[in-house]
Amino acid sequence: METLQSVAHFEQLKNEGKVIFVFSANWCPDCRFIDPFMPEVEEKFKEITFVYVDRDQFIDICVENDIFGIPSFLAFNKGTETGRFVSKDRKTQQEIENFVAQQ
């Protein structure tokens, strides 16, 4: 999974094609829960770029996009938001795959 480098990088990626931003933090237990199976999710959906966003490093992006709970997923296709899976709840692999499949 690619890691977001800057706000400019966020703007560039969201306009390029199908991308899902994965908002997370290293101190978040529910975020660590999804780590083992995210490579499998990425493998199933190769047409989508997955980008890790450190919530603490990019708090302004979180606020601008109403991301207050983590882990959360924000999907774009060529600059248009196509979906969001945003909550503070722990997410299962099946829930994440169901969301990604709709993008």
The catalytic residue positions are 28, 31
Longest dimension (CA), the chain: 32
Rounded distance, CA 74 to CA 54, Å?
A: 13
**Cα-Cα end-to-end distance for the chain:** 18
Q: Where are the beta strands (DSSP E) in 1-103?
A: 2-3, 18-24, 49-54, 72-77, 80-85
Rounded distance, CA 85 to CA 93, Å?
A: 13
